[in-house]
Structure 1
Amino acid sequence: MTGAGAVGTDPAVPRAGGQGPRAGGAGLLDAVRQRLAASGAEPTPARVAAALRAQGRLLGDAEVLGAAEELRSELTGAGPLEALLADPDVTDVLVSAPDRVWVDRGAGLERAPVVFPDAPAVRRLAQRLAAVAGRRLDDARPWVDARLPDGTRMHAVLPPVAVGSTCLSLRVLRPRAFTLEELTAAGTVPPGGDRVLRALIEARVSYLVSGGTGSGKTTLLATLLGLVGERERIVLAEDSAELRPDHPHVVRLEARPPNQEGAGLVTLRDLVRQALRMRPDRLVVGEVRGGEAVDLLAALNTGHEGGSGTLHANTAADVPARLEALGTAAGLDRAALHSQLGAGLSAVLHVVRDADGRRRIAEVHVLERDRAGLVRTVPALRWDPAGFERERGWARLRALLGGAL
């Protein structure tokens, strides 16, 4: 198996090794690649040098090292995408065609100067990464959602489901959470907003972080969990382990898909139920998107204060409707869902991503019941560059915070 194809012959295309290994020609490198793949040998500099000698070519040390690094990234790393994933500013790498690679460095998508030689090269890379994650990706199962050993979130779709070329999406998981001070400096939290968030955690308010894909929900939640007292035990239940709060007592549970025989499935709902038996001081669901919504709300109504999670929603006002849809699909009727929601959840922090790529807390809502007994959200704080603007729900939020502000 040759893994991903090499980066194209364009000398402007960056390579992980930094030193261009193309001095020997693309055909020479392909021959070395095939020789190493056939033997199953790790592409160490010594083996690459031996393979080059077998082709009748002698190269300098720098060229051998460059060729070894490029081949290593193809056979064991992320191929031509490795340099992008190593960039500390990159949060997402997206491949939609061999010559269409995009990255997100926090200011929106931008074209990356990386080119695959052809569509099969993208497919090979996606299949190899899926295999590294222990998942199957082929014509019978043409998509995969997995976590790589370094924590990178991977999603891939093969043709013909993906028209024209394999689509590969990689979300980089950074090894540490941001501090509240860093989020304030970055503009995610407005001036003075840190006091509200600290009070929210100290008062053990149950909350959800809502927002769209890539809006920074997980980043904000990880930061907030880092504010939890050191004597408290946090139990995380996630479909894909992404939360890494800076806290001394965190138990992380991750869902598992079935194996090729269809056995071994562990759902997020299973994890929430198990987490309740693990003496959590704070129960956290990384992403509420299914029947686990019912179990989380039930937990928040049985003495597990301060629980939290993330939820995809267009606005904070849409959160009750989203939870209603999830609860109904799990067999909970509307009245029961709203009863659980009103008694167990207290606040919603909604994050957005501006046109310039900046992520920020757009609004903070509290929950209240209307005359029909249905739960709705009420704006309490709204984003302003100078600090949160107070809305009509502020009095209720302040009461939830124990009058701390």
Structure 2
Amino acid sequence: MSDDAHDVVAHVRRDLLRPGTGPRERGEAVRRSVEGAGRLLGSTAADALARRAHADIFGAGPLQALLEVDGVTDVLVNGPDDVWIDRGRGVERVGVRFADAAAVRALAVRLAAAGGQRLDDAAPTVDARLPDGTRLHAVVAPLCAEGAVISLRVLRTRAFTLDALVRGGSVPTAWEPLVRGLVLRRANVLVSGGTGTGKTTLLAALLAAVPTNERVVCVEEARELVPAHPHVVPLTARRANVEGAGAVGLDALVRAALRMRPDRIVLGECRGAEVREVLMAMNTGHDGGLATIHANTAGHVPARLEALGALAGMSRAAVAAQAVGALDAVLHVRRVGGRRFVAEIACVERDGDGLRVVPVATWDGVDAPCTAPAWPAFVTRWAAR
């Protein structure tokens, strides 16, 4: 940023610190302050400087423009001249530069404060939700070498539908009646996949297929689900403060959701002891539930469930008994190149004192889907008519 621009931003900042300037007045206040900063500017330059000043004071600074690019899902800062974005084709480097490592750290600290969190040497990591819905994760020295590392995840305002995923090639046309039927017939569905494979996108599309007269309670660590459904109640976990108090975990939120007259309970991601609460809910009359879990293949889901169940004090046999009764289907998503698609449909069954996955159908994203021996019975039970 030029010295003139720095001077204008400083002038704007002083104006906005005056009493009586609330969030609703900020945009116009920035514009008036830029115009009154004592610089002769054309309308185009004034507009550009107003946007820059607003981003530096209220937004994500030099990252704000990246967050507003259509299709961008993640903005990643590894250092002053090491900035990357992801817009569905894998990460790509961009030409955004910070003055130095201190500038990266200053932005991380300000964004954390905007999300109501603290970030400093005593609390060197933070997870927060910014006012516009963007999810922030940041780490500062001494835990990282570059002063600060920032990861921003954009909250999707566009909610995908199952029809859109079929048209976009993420779900085979032949599978659409079955996938829709899993929702309409109130199957308990577990969506599995690796990082960045589109688990949340698929989950939101499934929720868009839920009948509009049903109440959906969504439990998430950080809000990402914005499904196209008129009756969604979002519950978000809270981290402990710097004194170690005030935490509200996903397991507590699942228990709270059970008391909120839900037609469906949705867990954004199983990653800890809350797996016990979800499996118990699905086994006690709360059908039609949905959740996601990290797993590299559908066949790895049993091991992941057992590992998470162990965190809740559950034995391998207990996890198997609960999961077999609770889970009706596993939908596994993959990412190959820039494409994300549903690659496997499966179900689970007992295998001694553990679990095993039974394939129903597979797809490589290119050729026609392949069906397994379990396909006919599975379709008969679950496919939409």
Please state if 1:362 is matched with 2:339: no
* Map 1:188-207 → 2, pairs under 5 A: 188-207=170-189
**What is the CA deviation profile of residues 272-294 of structure 1, one whole-angstrom value per residue up to 9, with x for unaligned ones?**
00111122221111111011100
Structure 1 match to 2:159: 177
Q: Distance in 1 between matches of 2:209 and 2:126?
A: 34
1:232-243 aligned at under 5 Å gives the runs: 232-243=214-225
Kept in 2, the 8 Å contact 1:378–1:392? The answer is no
1:91 matched to 2:67? The reply is no
Matched, 1:376 2:356: yes
After TM superposition, list the pairs within 5 Å mapping 1:152-167 onto structure 2: 152-167=134-149
Deviation readout 1:241-282 (Å, 9 max, x if unpaired): 111111122121111122344332211110000111122221
Structure 2 partner of 1:14: none
Residue 237 of structure 1 aligns with an amino acid whose one-letter code is V
Deviates further, 36-45 or 123-132: 36-45
Counterpart of 1:81 in structure 2 is 63
* Aligned residue in 2 for 1:27: 3
Q: Is the 8 A contact 1:208 1:311 kept in 2?
A: yes
Structure 2 residue 57 is the aligned partner of structure 1 residue 71: no
Who is 1:296 aligned against?
278
- SS at the partner of 1:367? strand
1:390 alignment partner in structure 2: 371
Please say if residues 96 and 165 of structure 1, whose CA atoms lie closer than 8 Å, have aligned partners that are also in contact. no
* In 2: Cα distance, 1:170 partner to 1:97 partner: 14
Q: In structure 1, list runs of 5 or more residues that go unmatched.
A: 1-5, 7-25
Decide whether the 8 Å contact of 1:225 with 1:245 is kept in 2: yes
Does 2:233 correspond to 1:257?
Answer: no
Distance 2:98 2:169 in 1: 36
* Matches of 2:132 and 2:98, distance apart in 1: 23
Instruction: Tell me, yes or no, if structure 1 residue 218 matches structure 2 residue 200.
Output: yes
One-letter code aligned to 1:32: V
Q: CA RMSD in A?
A: 1.9
What is the one-letter code of the residue matched to 2:247? L
Residue in structure 2 matched with residue 9 of structure 1 by the alignment: none
Whole-Å separation in 1 of the counterparts to 2:384 and 2:12: 65
> Which deviates further from its counterpart, 206-215 or 106-115?
106-115
Q: Is the 8 A contact 2:156 2:224 kept in 1?
A: no
| In structure 1, distance between residues paired with 2:242 and 2:54 | 29
- Answer whether contact 1:236 1:252 (CA < 8 A) is retained: yes
User: In structure 2, what is the Cα distance between the partners aligned to 1:251 and 1:31?
Assistant: 45
Secondary structure in 1 aligned to 2:66? Answer: helix
| C-alpha deviation, 1:232, in angstroms | 1.8
Contact 2:30–2:50 (Cα < 8 Å) also in 1: yes
Contact (CA 8 Å) 1:157, 1:166: kept in 2 or not?
Answer: yes
Does structure 2 conserve the Cα–Cα contact (< 8 Å) formed by 1:130 and 1:146? Answer: yes
How many angstroms does 1:32 deviate by?
Answer: 3.1
Q: 1:71 to 1:302 in 2, by over 3 A?
A: same
Q: Distance in 1 between matches of 2:284 and 2:338?
A: 39
AA of the residue aligned to 1:144: V
CA deviations 1:202-257 (Å, max 9, x no partner) are 22111110111111000100100111112222111111111111112212111112
